[in-house]
């Protein structure tokens, strides 16, 4: 069995329907062109939505030009607007860094601002899997933590991830729920520990990752470069473009875009230097763990 290739995201996702579902069939520019267009979504009152979404006042919606593409939408106002805009920026940072996450955007439907997220079916929450045992899950979560440290998202418990399997029996760990990220804080809010690999945070009651710090020590920088090499390609122009488009409806988009761009660049530099200082350069040869997907396939096909 071959090793999982987390670097080539389309190869890892593999299935054309999943690639389309997670928006890897389009460029960022193409996605922005669709997402910031008013009324590209239509509310569909007949659409069946998950119970957890229904009790949180979400409704079903479909894309006007692609009715089979389904979303969950919820009207937003007040502080929910900026939180949802930050979540949209995080999704596009994930997209840029080849990270699996569920699309979340801010858009207008009939003049009303909505938070919208893609509807993912045939998925299980990470909390239902023994993710501390199977390396394929550990590896994806270890890479994901880089994103959450950079975006100061301190609420990453197992319920903030979904697991989907593909036709190759790879388990895809999909990050969801970015409402607790903090892109506006200028300070180093999450600090690396001086002794050993680890971190200290202001929020002691929340998770930065479901993994224990020991899980990260099994890999070297050659593994983590899978994620860092994309973050190191970010510059102020790329970040400003992402932010200004995600903040399309915000009257302070120029101010926030400059602030967030500066913050992200500083955090990338800090987190990369910390990982490089604390972890070895090379990782022992890893095995493939595709068999894990078979158990989920049996679960879904009951």
Token pair in block for residue 266: 């500083």
pLDDT at 2: 46
What pLDDT, on the 0 to 100 scale, is given for residue 298?
46
For residues 164 and 174, the answer to whether their CB atoms sit within 8 Å is: yes
pLDDT in tens, 40-85: 999 998 999 888 888 888 999 999 999 899 999 999 999 999 999 9
With contact defined as beta carbons under 8 Å apart, do 133 and 63 qualify? no
Sign of CA dihedral 102, 106, 111, 112: positive
Q: Of 223, 120, 228, 129, which Cα lies nearest the Cα of 174?
A: 120
Distance CA(208)–CA(214), nearest Å, equals: 14
Q: Is residue 294 predicted with pLDDT exceeding 70?
A: no
Cβ atoms of 50 and 71 closer than 8 Å: no
| pTM for this predicted structure | 0.90
57: left (phi over 0), alpha (psi -120 to 50) or beta: left
The full length of the chain comes to 302
Residue 240: both structure tokens together:
């400003």
Pairwise CA distance, residues 207 & 210, whole Å: 7
| Residue given tokens 């915000």 in the structure block | 250
Which pairs with CB-CB distance under 8 Å and at least 24 residues apart come from 224-230?
224/142, 224/143, 224/146, 224/275, 224/279, 226/6, 226/7, 226/98, 226/143, 227/97, 227/98, 227/99, 227/143, 227/146, 227/147, 228/146, 228/268, 228/272, 228/275, 230/96, 230/97, 230/98
Residue among 203, 179, 178 nearest 189 (CA): 203
Contact indicator for 13, 169 with CB cutoff of 8 Å? no
- pLDDT for position 203: 67
- Whether residue 105 has pLDDT greater than 90: yes
Q: CA angle, corner 242, sides to 261 and 138, nearest 5? A: 85
For residues 294 and 199, the model is more confident at 199
Which element (helix H / strand E) includes 152? none
Position 133 scores a pLDDT of: 86
d(CA 293, CA 248): 40
Q: What number is the average pLDDT over the span 13-32? A: 93
Q: Provide φ and ψ at 82, rounded to 5°.
A: -65, -35
- Structure confidence at residue 287 as a pLDDT band (50, 70, 90): low
Q: What is the pLDDT of residue 250?
A: 92
């Amino acid at each position: 069995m071959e090793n999982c290739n987390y670097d080539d995201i389309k190869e890892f996702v593999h299935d054309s329907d999943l690639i389309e579902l997670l928006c890897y069939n389009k460029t960022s520019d193409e996605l922005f062109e669709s997402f910031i267009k008013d009324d590209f979504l239509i509310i569909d009152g007949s659409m069946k939505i998950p119970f957890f979404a229904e009790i949180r006042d979400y409704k079903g919606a479909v894309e006007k030009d692609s009715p089979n593409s389904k979303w969950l939408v919820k009207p937003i106002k007040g502080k929910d607007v900026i939180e949802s805009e930050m979540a949209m920026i995080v999704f596009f940072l994930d997209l840029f860094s080849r990270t699996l996450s569920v699309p979340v955007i801010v858009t207008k439907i009939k003049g009303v601002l909505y938070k919208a997220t893609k509807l993912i079916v045939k998925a299980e929450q990470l909390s239902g899997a023994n993710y501390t045992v199977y390396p394929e899950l550990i590896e994806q979560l270890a890479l994901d933590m880089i994103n959450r440290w950079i975006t100061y998202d301190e609420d990453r418990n197992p319920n903030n991830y979904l697991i989907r399997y593909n036709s190759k029996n790879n388990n895809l760990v999909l990050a969801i729920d970015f409402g607790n990220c903090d892109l506006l804080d200028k300070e180093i809010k999450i600090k690396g520990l001086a002794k050993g690999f680890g971190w200290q945070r202001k929020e002691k009651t929340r998770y930065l990752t479901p993994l224990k710090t020991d899980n990260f020590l099994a890999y070297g920088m050659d593994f983590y470069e899978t994620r860092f090499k994309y973050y190191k390609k970010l510059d102020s122009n790329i970040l400003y473009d992402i932010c200004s488009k995600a903040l399309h409806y915000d009257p302070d988009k120029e101010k926030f875009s400059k602030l967030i761009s500066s913050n992200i660049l500083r955090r990338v530099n800090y987190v990369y230097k910390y990982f490089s200082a604390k972890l070895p350069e090379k990782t022992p040869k890893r095995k493939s763990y595709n068999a894990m997907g078979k158990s989920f396939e049996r679960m879904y096909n009951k």
